[in-house]
A and B are shown apart, each in its own frame.
Chain A
């Protein structure tokens, strides 16, 4: 029990020093001293509750994904059937209740139609699963319903893209070291240290920035529009700013045949030539430019609507074909909102609408204040604790205290290497681990005392002390590990921060409080061979 071969000692020291070394860069950072840049620098991140900053939790709304899938399916079905070997005529197309349905003019074409649209309904992957269910009603009505699996996949892809877009937009704001993580099925966490007014960021992330150009249905009567009745093949879209449209609250636009404004190479804020009001200048990429040129060439002298996120910004007349691949969007912008839209368009549209469901902001003063006070309190607490332990256990107390300091450094070191975040609840985890480490030494020393009181010789008492106390220490730590793992798996944010420190701390505290102190005590006993010990 008290035998420590040299290789074992060397190994323990190596582990200890490695962990402690990993903690150094973080400590240097707290002391604001430079850490040589040629050395690796694992760092502990301070949570926003300690360091100050903004935390936003965004939730994606999958409705948009569903709608778009229906729309693009409708377009695919139309073009597929139009270009089929024997043309298939269809009518009464609708996308109500989340399904696409249409009627065959010639019911004898059911099988041919099915053959045509079947390839459209299989998933992109190799799974062979179908993204859409096909049903035929009354012999001639086709109903295509997206499967849940297909939608889930689409939403998941959309969230992946959305996370990228959020990252780009956050970077555009010039914030430093934001953390952007996708969380669960439909959520994205954005954490920006040092940002104490997140309003601009929220506005930017809340803007979906789906830009569309659609032709205005000039045949629609104003009374129908006012009542929300759209002519066949058209839809009613409200104006973003009714004051600018001459009192018209909404406008009818053709559902199909428009183009999307997502094929852009650039977007920036500028000023309009005529009235010098803020506008957004966009530049299409080659493909987008060609589409835009085609749309404007074919529809000279007709009005088209510029739609942003389902609202019409303006509906200008196409005076001449726009061939240069660039355009200006006007629509009662301020310089600020035009700039924001430019950023949003540059970083791409969000494929899902995002909503802020949780927001936490901690002012930087409070954060700094907390850290300073926390450090002072820890220092005072540690000194007081150590005095108490040394007064109670003498030499054995000193071993316990050295082990305690090493324990704290090791936890910090492991946290730095694992790149974890220290939060307020994490500090609670620290307090619990330190408590457990102190308790381990108290248990051991009390047991040694007891065995000495029974009249056992020094070496035997020490050996028994470690052996008998280890059982309780083991059980206590295993229960804490169990609790920590469950908390990590089930719990959210703060509970997890607590669990992480606890898990690391349990391992290091057993190592330092039991293994290291035993090695030191054994070394001392071998060298000094004391006949009696003060304990």
Chain B
């Protein structure tokens, strides 16, 4: 039986030749992402800013009348709603700020939800209410800070472990690649204004997991080659390592993409945004482990000295003494 072979043996693509332009582009994209986050901002869900979200499906209408709903709900006197389609065009989420004083009287939020739902259902009989979330400002603040703290702490701890197992340069490289991945993905969320909620934080964590996995595989090969080829110049050695692991990179990434595309096409709509984020993350993560995490080793001046046992001064003198006698 002939097996499928996507990448031929002994490829010799000089990936790192374009490290400077790629790095420049990536740094530029990162700057743009940060800029977008500050100017356009993330479309934070009720998880993070508090408020009320009603999810509804129009069962017999192909597309929800978003503009019309915006107007009718806006007229109810609770402020401007944020209405978005998610997953399919007939599924929407309506987000509202919690009414004034609802911190002390939770009944106000319920009354608002009832009013909105009955108004919509009066005009559209086919609307099915799929869920209502109300999150107070206090809880949402905590959710946001604990989510971000988990993200930051996990990244730093993981970098520290890589430092311990490899060298500090590798730790810095891995951390930088993680920052790169997370920044670009968040920039994407700012650009598309897709809703950023707690589930997306879980997606970011998954993305970090994949990206790290990739980094470590390449780093492991770099470590091995550093021991094997002591005199090879760094750029060449890194290219060799990336090429040797290329087949694995492609097969693994493809395997994951197959699963994710199935989830995107056939999976439940609630996890669409979430799966999309992870899918994007696969590309970004694979790219960053080759172009972000690897070239940084050249600039941070890694050499084989880190992994080859150095002869200690005492050993050297003893050896010299032996040789003399």
Contact = CB atoms under 8 A, between A and B. Distances in A.
B158 interface: yes
A456 B250 CA distance: 24
Given A358-B134, A394-B3, A487-B205, A479 B267 contact: no
Contact of A359 (B133, B155, B244): B133
A470 to B, nearest CB: 10
B83 to A, nearest CB: 18
Contact of A490 (B5, B150, B165, B209): B150
A502 B209 contact: yes
Nearest to A364: B130
A216 B292 CA distance: 78
A482 B158 contact: yes
A357 B267 contact: no
A363 B267 CA distance: 18
B34 interface: no
Contact of A494 (B5, B149, B198, B245): B198
Interface SS, B side: helix
Interface string B225-262: 00000000000000000001101100110111011111
Q: Which of A362, A378, A472, A535 has the most CB of B within 10 A?
A: A472
Interface of A: 49, 57, 199, 202, 206, 355-363, 365-366, 369-371, 373-374, 376-378, 380-382, 384-385, 388-389, 391-394, 424-425, 427-429, 431-432, 434-436, 438-439, 442-443, 446, 449-450, 453, 468, 471-472, 475-476, 478-480, 482-483, 486-487, 490-495, 497-498, 502, 534-535
Contacts of B138: 357
A334 to B, nearest CB: 16
B209 to A, nearest CB: 5
A428 B256 CA distance: 12
Interface residues of B, number: 79
Interface of B: 1, 3-6, 9-10, 55, 57, 104, 106, 109-110, 128-136, 138-139, 142-143, 146-147, 149-150, 153-155, 157-158, 161-162, 165, 198-199, 201-203, 205-206, 208-210, 212-213, 216-217, 220-221, 224, 244-245, 247-248, 251-252, 254-256, 258-263, 265-271, 274, 278
B199 A494 contact: yes
A497 B202 CA distance: 9
A355 B268 contact: no
Contacts of B143: 492-493
A450 B9 CA distance: 8
A491 B259 contact: no
Given A360-B131, A453-B9, A486-B150, A391 B3 contact: yes
Nearest to B217: A472
B267 A475 contact: no
A373 B202 contact: no
Contacts of A373: 266-269
B262 A381 contact: yes
B4 A439 contact: no
Given A443-B248, A446-B248, A495-B198, A431 B260 contact: yes
Given A377-B263, A475-B165, A495-B201, A363 B131 contact: yes
A450 B269 CA distance: 42
A483 B154 contact: yes
Given A366-B270, A431-B278, A446-B248, A358 B1 contact: no
B106 A380 contact: no
Given A475-B165, A491-B147, A494-B202, A377 B4 contact: no
Which 3 residue pairs are nearest across A and B when measured between Cβ atoms? A381-B262, A425-B202, A370-B268
Nearest to A495: B150
B142 A365 contact: no
A497 B251 CA distance: 29
Q: Which of B6, B110, B213 has the most CB of A within 10 A?
A: B213
Nearest to A55: B133
Contact of B270 (A49, A479, A498): A49
23 contacts: A202-B106, A360-B133, A363-B130, A373-B267, A377-B266, A388-B254, A392-B4, A424-B270, A424-B274, A428-B202, A431-B206, A431-B260, A438-B255, A442-B252, A443-B248, A453-B9, A472-B217, A475-B220, A480-B212, A483-B158, A495-B198, A495-B201, A534-B3
Given A365-B128, A492-B143, A355 B106 contact: yes
Given A357-B138, A365-B128, A373-B268, A389 B220 contact: no
B200 to A, nearest CB: 10
A478 B161 contact: yes
Nearest to A434: B259
Contacts of B198: 425, 492-495
